[in-house]
């Protein structure tokens, strides 16, 4: 029988919440997962879903190597009819000698951290490998085991796996209030009733500042920032086979694209956005501001992203046109690394938030960290993984943020 010290409530039913629920159930916890709307209703269903191991932070490289292996073994570890990972690679392009030298230095560190398959391609070898890349690009770093995910398969398969393991998955169960005693949380009230537990886990990411107010947690610097994705029709720009084999490509200015299917390309580009963490509502996820609408003409951010990508890859200038815009929120931290740690004000509240656009890809690593922290019942210095030792200081609450993640798109 599971004792009271082994009961846990997770708040938030996206990729982080569902995969963490699986990890804790397998560790012997009695798990309740409470989602305010439906599984995957937040940022998880609105993500570009890239998955990469090319980071400038050692712990992210180690963690993402673990995550990639987990996703490759998905049907064995989680179940589901299909693998959710498409390993077509990530290609970062550089158009100046200075940026290229910095990329070479990062790649050398990444290899030292275990990412031995990352390649550095200087022109003209870059263009020989990827003929659609402009001759103006002086180099590119390519990791063939990177790629992208099908996020709906991830959170739906993970939720199904959690249910098979005995997890109670509650939908339409928004958090309403909390009860505490002696400085510790004892219960939360949702629209589906009160849930008592010994451990509570915040998996609400862009919503975390409001979640913390209800739970009595510290107000973490996690900004809710709007991000957009655009879709373009292939037309005659590239053969369908070429499009499907394209990696996720990041242009020097930060715009990126990847194949969505044989006939369309997904594009994205971050922009300066206000922090709306305390004011946005659920419907705002899908609100498309005029400046970012694909129908907005030449001044639209969508068109500017398309132009930037076409400068890096000229055949993309011949795409048939932009066809759709989608949107959602990043939960971003100042150093672009997440918080994976116990709340300093509420010792039995674990915060798994602030993924800065990397939440989907981090999912298996986040779940492994969460399970280790839950078992320890206290902060940990490091986690030993098959891919290496991950020092957890980079993800702790209260860390200094002098050296942030440099590879952010």
Q: Could you read off the pLDDT of 209-240 as tens digits, one per residue?
A: 999 999 999 999 999 999 999 999 999 999 99
Average pLDDT, the chain: 97
For residues 1 and 30, what is the distance between their CA atoms, to the nearest angstrom? 9
Q: Residue 64: its pLDDT value, please?
A: 99
CA-based radius of gyration for the chain: 21
Q: Name the one residue in this structure whose structure tokens are 């039913």.
A: 13
Residues 203 and 160 in one domain: yes
Residue 233 sits in the same domain as residue 374? no
**Planar angle of CA 305, 310, 311, nearest 5 degrees:** 100
User: Do 65 and 162 belong together in one domain?
Assistant: yes
What does the buried/exposed string (b/e) look like for 360-377 if buried means 16 or more CB atoms within 10 Å of the residue's CB? bbbbbbbbbbbbbbbeee
Q: Are 62 and 188 within one domain?
A: yes
Taking 80 as the threshold, does the pLDDT of residue 7 lie above it? yes
Within this chain, do residues 246 and 301 fall inside the same structural domain, yes or no?
yes
CA–CA gap between residue 51 and residue 66 (Å, rounded): 12
Average pLDDT, stretch 256-261? 98
Distance CA 45, CA 48 (A): 9
pTM beyond 0.95: the answer is yes
Q: What pLDDT, on the 0 to 100 scale, is given for residue 1?
A: 32
Domain annotation covers residue 75: no
What is residue 5's predicted lDDT score, i.e. its pLDDT? 74
pLDDT at residue 402, rounded to an integer = 83
Task: Give the residue-averaged pLDDT of 13-37.
Answer: 99
Assigned domain for 47 exists: yes
What percentage of the chain has pLDDT greater than the value 70?
99
Q: Which domain holds residue 324?
A: 87-147+223-332
pLDDT tens, residue by residue, 166-211: 999 999 999 999 999 999 999 999 999 999 999 999 999 999 999 9
CA distance 231 to 260: 8
Residue ending a domain, among 306, 332, 358, is 332
The confidence score (pLDDT) of residue 154 equals: 99
Please tell me whether residues 240 and 364 are part of one structural domain.
no
Q: Are 241 and 203 part of one and the same domain?
A: no
How many structural domains are present in the chain? Answer: 2
The CATH number covering residue 250 comes to: 3.30.9.10
At 142 the pLDDT is 99
The string of pLDDT tens digits covering residues 124-158 is 999 999 999 999 999 999 999 999 999 999 999 99
Do 127 and 256 fall within a single domain? yes
Does 37 score more than 70 pLDDT?
Answer: yes
Residue 359 has pLDDT above 80, yes or no: yes
Q: Both 196 and 325 in a single domain?
A: no
| Shared-domain flag, residues 184 and 63 | yes
User: Does the pLDDT value for residue 27 go beyond 90?
Assistant: yes
Look at residue 402 and tell me if it is in a domain.
no
Query: Per the domain annotation, does 76 fall within a domain?
Result: no
The pLDDT tens digits of the residues spanning 76-108 come to: 999 999 999 999 999 999 999 999 999 999 999
Residue whose C-alpha is closest to residue 174's, from 343, 2, 36, 329:
36
Q: Tokens for 311, please give them.
A: 């400068």
Co-location of 271 and 341 in the same domain: no
Q: Are residues 264 and 296 both part of a single domain?
A: yes
What dihedral do alpha carbons 252, 60, 33, 373 form, nearest 10°? -160
397/225 Cα distance (integer angstroms):
20
Q: How confident is the model at residue 3 (pLDDT cuts 50, 70, 90)?
A: very low
- What's the pLDDT at 403? 82
Per DSSP, the residues of 76-145 read: HHT--SS--EE---EEEEE-SHHHHHHHHHHHHHHHHTT-TT-EEEETTHHHHHSTTS-TT--EEEEETT
Give the domain CATH number at 177: 3.50.50.60
Q: What whole-number distance in Å separates Cα of residue 262 and Cα of residue 258?
A: 11
């Amino acid at each position: 029988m599971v004792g009271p010290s082994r009961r846990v409530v997770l708040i938030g039913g996206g990729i982080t919440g569902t995969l963490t629920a699986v990890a804790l159930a397998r560790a012997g916890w009695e798990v309740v997962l409470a989602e305010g709307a439906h599984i995957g209703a937040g940022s998880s269903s609105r993500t570009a879903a890239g998955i990469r191991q090319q980071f400038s932070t050692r712990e992210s490289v180690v963690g993402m190597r673990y995550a990639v292996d987990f996703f490759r073994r998905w049907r064995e570890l989680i179940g589901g009819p299909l693998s959710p990972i498409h390993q077509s690679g990530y290609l970062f392009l550089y158009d100046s000698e200075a940026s290229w030298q910095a990329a070479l230095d990062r790649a050398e560190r990444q290899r030292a951290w275990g990412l031995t398959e990352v390649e550095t391609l200087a022109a003209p070898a870059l263009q020989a490998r990827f003929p659609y890349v402009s001759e103006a690009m002086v180099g590119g770093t390519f990791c063939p085991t990177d790629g992208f995910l099908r996020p709906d398969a991830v959170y739906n398969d993970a939720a199904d796996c959690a249910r098979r393991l005995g997890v109670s998955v509650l939908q339409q169960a928004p958090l309403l209030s909390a009860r505490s005693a002696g400085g510790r949380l004892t219960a939360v009230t949702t629209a589906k009733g009160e849930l008592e537990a010994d451990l509570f886990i915040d998996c609400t990411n862009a919503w975390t500042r409001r979640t913390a107010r209800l739970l009595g947690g510290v107000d973490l610097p996690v900004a809710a920032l709007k991000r957009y994705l655009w879709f373009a029709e292939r037309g005659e720009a590239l053969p369908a086979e070429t499009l499907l084999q394209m990696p996720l490509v990041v242009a020097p200015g930060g715009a990126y694209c990847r194949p969505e299917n044989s006939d369309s390309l997904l594009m994205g580009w971050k922009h300066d956005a206000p922090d709306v963490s305390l004011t946005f509502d659920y419907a705002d996820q899908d609100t498309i501001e005029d400046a970012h609408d694909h129908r907005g003409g030449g001044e639209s951010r969508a068109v500017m992203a398309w132009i930037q990508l076409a400068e890096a890859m000229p055949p993309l200038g011949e795409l048939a046109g932009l066809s759709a815009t989608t949107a959602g929120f990043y939960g971003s931290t100042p150093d672009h690394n997440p918080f994976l740690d116990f709340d300093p004000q509420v010792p039995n509240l674990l915060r798994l938030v602030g993924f800065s656009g990397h939440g989907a890809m981090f999912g298996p690593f986040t779940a492994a960290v969460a399970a280790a922290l839950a078992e320890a019942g206290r902060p940990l210095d490091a986690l030993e993984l098959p891919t290496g030792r991950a020092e957890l200081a980079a993800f702790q609450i209260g860390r200094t943020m002098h050296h942030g993640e440099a590879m952010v798109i």
